[in-house]
Amino acid sequence: MGSNRVRIFMLGLFLAVGAIVACGGSAEPTAAPVAAVATTAPVATTAPAAATAVPVAAATKVPAVASAKPAGELTIATRNLRSGAGTPMFCTAGCAETIYLSGVNETLTGVKAGPGGPLDPQNIGQLAESWTIADDLSYMDFKLVKDVPFHSSNGVDYGVMTAADVAFSYNNANAARNVDSIHGQAGDFAPFIGEVVAVDDLNVRMNFTLMYSAMPLRYIGPFYQSAAIVSKKAFDELGADGMREVFTGTGPYKFIEWRKSEILETEAVDSHWRRTASIKSVKIRDIPEAATRVAMLETGEAAIATDIPFKDIVRLQKGGKFKLNRDNGYSVEISIFLAGNYWSTVHPQKGTELERPRIDKPWIGFFDDPESMERAKKVRHALAMSYDREAINDSILEGLGEPNYLNQISIKQDGWMDKWEIPFDPEGARALLKEAGYEPGSFTIDMWIGPGGTRVELGEAVAGFWLKELGLETNLDRITYTKYRPGLVQRTTNTFFMSGGDEGKTGFPVHWPKGMQGSAITDGGWGPGFEDPWYSQHFFKMNKEPDAVKRMAMTEEYFDHVLDVMLQPGVVELPWHPFYNTEAIASWEEHPSMNGNIGGVNSIETIVLK
């Protein structure tokens, strides 16, 4: 790829990160290059001499927003408030995102809506005021904002943020740099991000093992899943275990208290370097029962509530007092990952052998046994054909969502093809079961649906269809995700996983390289309960292709395969927006986000109370 072509590609990557495909349709991607080229260039482990770099989306320091002294209190009623940890390596799924969504921490870049709205997001400066990428795509350099002070929950002054803090935050979280990390993105960072190196106090280099075209929005800012920047000095003084209970950050809110499954309390930082919040105290409360969250909203005990049943959304919106904040642009494609089909035997990057279990279940095929693979595929297709998606959308989502057929694509996105629609065909499903050697009611299914929320209703609905149409009983697992997740990481679970997964977000571009989810690329980190070697091969092929038209053809090839193997059939597309009291909140400017933690709440520092 020539230097000029790289420059064109990089401008497209960071200014628009491809033609983001919005719900309701947008223009087809042009042929301008927007996907990264995989590089085999050696990754530096120390700061090398500067290479020719391409300036991209340079951002100036954002001046602090003038405001009166913070005052007042805000209560947010949410669910699934998991445990917190101040040490990156111990900040597991949920914690890893909540610490910056709550405003305690910040990330290298921010994000804002582009000309196309929240589904056209763009990276903007936050802790990094500008950034460049090397011509050979082997590293990315960030110039940091000067004199950004840390605050801490133990009251110790850890000074100002430097490049050493950024390097530590990523390296300590990244499983490729720290094998003991259980950070929420430990396995996601590992295939792509090498060592992050402090060049000097205000310049940091992020070396790439492989440049991933989705990286700027996925892993560097708050649009999806990033690393929050914490103090290395605190780690040096306290150690990994000592820092667990000490939260250091640079965000507009400082940590007061975090009790797992109970409350996260924060307090505004006076004269914050970027934007001083108007609300003094924020309490994010974990309320498992949906009825209680609704009651808190109606009585005024909470000004914001998340994961509200759709029947209540329809009812509460009628009066005009309560409103969904749709600024985040977030919808999730709830799907059923048919766990246990672990077909990978070799790591697609490292070439090392992988040990995977052989689990004897009707939907699980053995990759070295073609007859087994075919029987199991028929069972999976039967399961996918035997629940009525439109009926589920109408009855549970009050028609506010959409039927979903395949994870990672919405029927409203450009690129969707009717051939991928899965028919509701119970008779055909029963015939497939019989062809596979199974009679109705001849086996049971285990499916994780979590402890509460709309997903429980969706799981119960699907289980009801399986019982009615196929005579199959389903054991619905309602343990917390924290307890279920280890089986996904270790590739041992055969309990179905009802989720959007990492990539089932409608705001993700259709033509982002596909196949990482469901492959062994993230071995050691999160997986959806299955691995298909074809997925990883396709991901690397797509990630190399700079031509958008060819990449869209690869997207079609991907979903043809997804439909065939039927490892991740969809259920519904679920809008994921927080609900708030317009009589309590005067204004609230959320940033685009495909992150569902805190029920889709973000940008708390922008909230102004009446």
Phi-psi region of 204 (alpha: psi -120 to 50; beta: other; left: phi over 0): beta
Residue 16 has pLDDT above 80, yes or no: no
Alpha helices in 85-192 (DSSP H): 95-101, 163-173, 186-189
Same domain, 411 and 524: yes
Residues 6+ apart with CB under 8 A from 273: 64, 145, 147, 148, 149, 250
Same domain? 282 vs 345: no
Structure tokens at 603: 């940008």
Q: Please tell me whether residues 235 and 364 are part of one structural domain.
A: no
φ and ψ at 371, to 5 degrees?
A: -65, -40
Residue 312 included in any domain: no
Q: What percent of the chain stands above pLDDT 70?
A: 89
List CB contacts of 464: < 8 A, sequence separation 6 or more: none
Closest C-alpha to 89, from 5, 212, 190: 190
Q: How confident is the model at residue 67 (pLDDT cuts 50, 70, 90)?
A: low
CA atoms of 375 and 379, how far apart (whole Å): 7
If asked whether residues 207 and 96 sit together in one domain, one would say: yes
Phi then psi for 432, rounded to 5 degrees? Answer: -65, -40
Residue 404: which of 428, 421, 385 has the closest Cα?
421
Whole-number Å distance between alpha carbons of 540 and 544 = 6
Q: Are residues 352 and 240 in the same domain?
A: no
Last residue of a domain, one of 254, 271, 286: 286
pLDDT digits (tens, 9 = 90+) for 265-300: 999 999 999 999 999 999 999 999 999 999 999 999
AA letter at 415: G
| b/e 6-32 (16+ beta carbons within 10 angstroms → b) | bbbbbbbbbebbbbbbbbeebeebeeb
Q: In this structure, which amino acid lies at residue 608?
A: V
According to DSSP, residue 346 is labeled B
Domain stops at, among 256, 286, 316: 286
Strand, helix or coil for residue 384: helix
Can you give the pLDDT at residue 429? 98
Determine contact, residues 219/225, Cβ cutoff 8 Å: yes
286 contacts 262 by C-beta, under 8 angstroms: yes
Chain segment 316-368, per-residue pLDDT in tens: 999 899 999 999 989 999 999 999 999 999 999 899 999 999 999 999 999 99
pLDDT at residue 138 tops 50:
yes
- Determine the 3-state secondary structure of 98 from DSSP: helix
Contact call for residues 109 and 217 (beta carbons, < 8 A): no
Residues 485 and 371 reside in one and the same domain: yes
pTM check: above 0.95: no
Task: Please tell me the least confidently modeled range out of 20-34, 477-491, 536-550.
Answer: 20-34
pLDDT at 116: 75
Three-state SS for 286?
Answer: strand
Distance CA 130, CA 127 (A): 9
What residue type is 274 in one-letter code? Answer: R
In a domain, 323, yes or no: no
- Residues 225/594, Cβ–Cβ less than 8 Å: no
Question: For residue 580, what are its two tokens?
Answer: 């708030």
Which of 49-58, 80-89, 175-184, 308-317 comes out lowest in average pLDDT? 49-58
What local confidence, expressed as pLDDT, does residue 510 receive? 84
CA distances from 77 to 264, 288, 423 (A): 11, 9, 38
| Residue 224, token pair as written in the block | 């999806």
Indicate whether 294 belongs to any domain: no
pLDDT given for residue 213 in this prediction: 75
Instruction: Give the mean pLDDT of the chain.
Output: 88
Residue 10 has pLDDT above 80, yes or no: no
Burial class (CB in 10 A: 0-12, 13-18, 19+), 407: buried
Number of domains in the chain: 2
Cα dihedral sign, 191-192-196-199 = positive
Report CA torsion sign: 44, 206, 528, 555: negative
Q: In 3-state terms, what secondary structure has residue 57?
A: coil
- Alpha-carbon distance 318 to 123, whole Å? 36
Q: What is the mean pLDDT of residues 389-400?
A: 96
Cβ-based burial of 85 (10 A; exposed 0-12, middle 13-18, buried ≥19):
buried
350 lies in the same domain as 260? no
Band (pLDDT 50/70/90 cuts) for residue 85 is: very high
Residue 600 domain-assigned? no
- 601 lies in some domain: no
**216 and 348 fall within a common domain:** no
CB atoms within 10 A of CB 1: 16
Q: Are residues 216 and 119 in the same domain?
A: yes
Distances (CA, A) of 402 to 297, 468, 573, 577: 26, 23, 5, 15
Percent helix, percent strand, percent coil in the chain, to nearest 5:
30, 20, 50
Joined tokens for residue 305: 């509530």
Same domain, 401 and 545: yes
Rounded CA-CA distance 286/305 in Å is 10
Q: Domain of residue 254: give its range.
A: 3-286
| Amino acid 47: pLDDT | 39
pLDDT one-digit tens code per residue, 158-209: 999 999 999 999 999 999 999 999 999 999 899 899 999 999 999 999 999 9
Q: Is the pLDDT of residue 21 over 70?
A: no
| Cβ pair 280, 267 in contact under 8 A | yes
Most confident range (mean pLDDT) of 8-17, 54-63, 305-314 is 305-314
What tokens were used for 199?
Answer: 């060049």
pLDDT of 407 > 70? The answer is: yes
Task: Give residue 13's pLDDT band: very low, low, confident or very high (50, 70, 90).
Answer: very low
Q: Are 134 and 51 in contact (CB under 8 A)?
A: yes
Residues 337 and 262 in one domain: no
Same-domain pairing of 49 and 193: yes
Please give the structure tokens belonging to residue 494.
Answer: 């055969």
Q: For residues 89 and 173, is the Cβ–Cβ distance under 8 A?
A: yes
Q: Work out the average pLDDT over 81-97.
A: 95
Please report the pLDDT score of residue 66 as a whole number: 46
Q: Which helix H or strand E contains 402, and what residues bound it?
A: strand 402-403
The answer to whether residue 277 sits within a structural domain is yes
Q: Is the pLDDT of residue 29 over 60?
A: no
Query: Is the predicted pLDDT of residue 14 greater than 50, yes or no?
Result: no
Q: Give the bridge partners for 111, in sequence order.
A: 123
pLDDT for position 17: 32
Structure tokens at 307: 């994961």
CATH of the domain at 482: 3.10.105.10
What's the average model confidence in pLDDT over 29-57? 35
Count of all residues that appear for the chain in the document: 610
Read off the CATH number of the domain in which 150 is found: 3.40.190.10
Three-point CA angle 193, 194, 198, nearest 5°: 105
pLDDT of residue 507: 82
Encode pLDDT of 508-560 as tens digits.
888 888 999 999 999 988 999 999 999 999 999 998 887 778 888 899 999 99
pLDDT at 56: 47
User: What is the rounded distance in angstroms from the CA atom of residue 348 to the CA atom of residue 533?
Assistant: 8
Residues 34-55: b if buried by 16+ CB within 10 A, e if exposed: bbbbbbeeebbeebbeeeebbe
Question: What is the predicted pLDDT for the residue at 517?
Answer: 92
- For residue 297, being part of any structural domain is answered with no
In a domain, 604, yes or no: no
pLDDT score at 414: 82
DSSP state of 123: E
